[in-house]
Structure 1
Amino acid sequence: MIQKAKLFGFGSYFEGVERPADIDLLIVHEDTSADSCHFAISCKQLLRMAISAAHVTILSVGEESDQRFIERSTAIFLGPLHSENAQEEIERFAALLLRPFDRQLKLRIRHYQNLRRIAKSSSF
């Protein structure tokens, strides 16, 4: 069975801070089954290998809903992760996140992503 998760970014990096200390990422996986948890942990390990400054939090959909973490942290949806090609997806996210670009562009992207997040449901 294919496992799915969603990757979000939050914190100073995504707020356009010029020299953030780390890159805060959130993995939201489907449920608390062993397969789902193992997939989320595997994604976290891949992210840490690809982005040395990554600080990765993992929550199940239920945990995120209880804590309202995405709403409270104003996290940005970066994209989906799938077990059949997670490594390639994470490498693509890492390349985008580590590419230097100006602060104003980051802020514009954040604004756009927030508008999209409000407009779309974050359900699987």
Structure 2
Amino acid sequence: MALTLSASIYGFGSAFAGKGGARDIDILIVHQSSDPASCRLAIACKRRLAERLPLAHVTMLSAPEEEHLKFIETANAMSVGTLRNGHLEEDLNKAVAVIAELAAKGAEISPEDR
């Protein structure tokens, strides 16, 4: 049985903060570990997100790195989905739709709902 790898996708920055006038879309990919397979999944996710969202600026961190830096908390990042190997295209379609919707609305979501 193959191990299911996943990466969590978050949006942050002006496109998600309701400030309007965002010139880019800041995305964070948090992958499970620094294991080569986990890193390859994160790189594949980054490439595919960049293809579908030309304005995306993508940052990648392993889960231990994110925990150490507390990037999600510091950047007020909001979850937009999870990408799993074996379901990458389906999950990517969902995440891109959420990102596009939130960015278009300026992410008018209170911090409590993030």
Task: Determine if the TM-score, normalized by the shorter chain, exceeds 0.5.
Answer: yes
Whether 1:115 and 2:109 are equivalent positions in the alignment is no
Offset from partner CA, 1:50-94 (integer Å, 9 cap, x none):
100011000000000111101110100112111111122112222
Name the structure 2 match of 1:95.
97
Q: Larger relative contact order (C-alpha < 8 A, sep ≥ 6)? A: 2
Residue ranges of structure 1 left out of the alignment (5+ in a row): 118-124
Q: Distance in 2 between matches of 1:18 and 1:30?
A: 32
Name the structure 2 match of 1:25.
27
| Fraction of identical pairs, as percent | 35
Where does structure 1 differ by over 3 angstroms across 4 or more consecutive aligned residues?
Answer: 99-103
Q: Distance in 2 between matches of 1:32 and 1:61?
A: 9
The AA in structure 2 aligned to 1:95 is: A
Residue ranges of structure 2 left out of the alignment (5+ in a row): none
Per the alignment, in what secondary structure is the counterpart of residue 22 of structure 2? coil
Please list, as runs of the form range in 1=range in 2, the aligned pairs for 1:54-69 lying within 5 A after superposition. 54-69=56-71
Name the structure 2 match of 1:79.
81
Aligned alpha-carbon RMSD (Å): 1.7
Name the structure 2 match of 1:120.
none
